[in-house]
Amino acid sequence: MRAGRLFPFNPNALDKHWERQRTLLGHADDPEWVWHTFRHTYGTRLIQRGKRLEDIAKLMGHSSLQVTLRYAKISPANLYDAIQVLDDD
């Protein structure tokens, strides 16, 4: 078994593709429209679907839960759902 990357990765090609997509979608000059946003979306969607913070941290390669908390945002709807369990009695 060989060690190394499963898929070849060329950051320059990825950046070029991303810039082309940003332009096509009309976000070429939008500073919020960056690759890193996908990490925040990934963490947030996992936490909103009830996944454990420890599991999300491991999936995202974080060394601490504090780092994961920066990525996994809890929505007001999730907070509302959390308190609704008190009404289930």
Q: Which residues contact 44 (CB under 8 A, 6 or more apart)?
A: 71, 72, 73, 75
Q: Is the pLDDT at 3 greater than 80, yes or no?
A: no
- The verdict on residue 71 lying in a domain is yes
Please state the rounded mean pLDDT for residues 12-35: 89
pLDDT of residue 79: 85
- Number of helical H runs and strand E runs in the chain: 5, 0
CA atoms of 37 and 62, how far apart (whole Å):
16
- The verdict on residue 5 lying in a domain is no
- The verdict on residue 69 lying in a domain is yes
Q: Which residues contact 27 (CB under 8 A, 6 or more apart)?
A: 33
pLDDT of residue 60: 94
Please state the rounded mean pLDDT for residues 21-42: 90
pLDDT confidence of 6, banded at 50, 70, 90? low
CA atoms of 7 and 46, how far apart (whole Å):
24
pLDDT per position as a tens digit, 34-85 = 888 889 999 999 998 989 999 999 999 999 999 999 988 888 888 888 888 8
- The verdict on residue 25 lying in a domain is no
- The verdict on residue 81 lying in a domain is yes
Q: How many domains does the chain have?
A: 1
- The verdict on residue 4 lying in a domain is no
Q: Which domain holds residue 52?
A: 37-89
- The verdict on residue 65 lying in a domain is yes
pLDDT of residue 85: 83
- The verdict on residue 15 lying in a domain is no
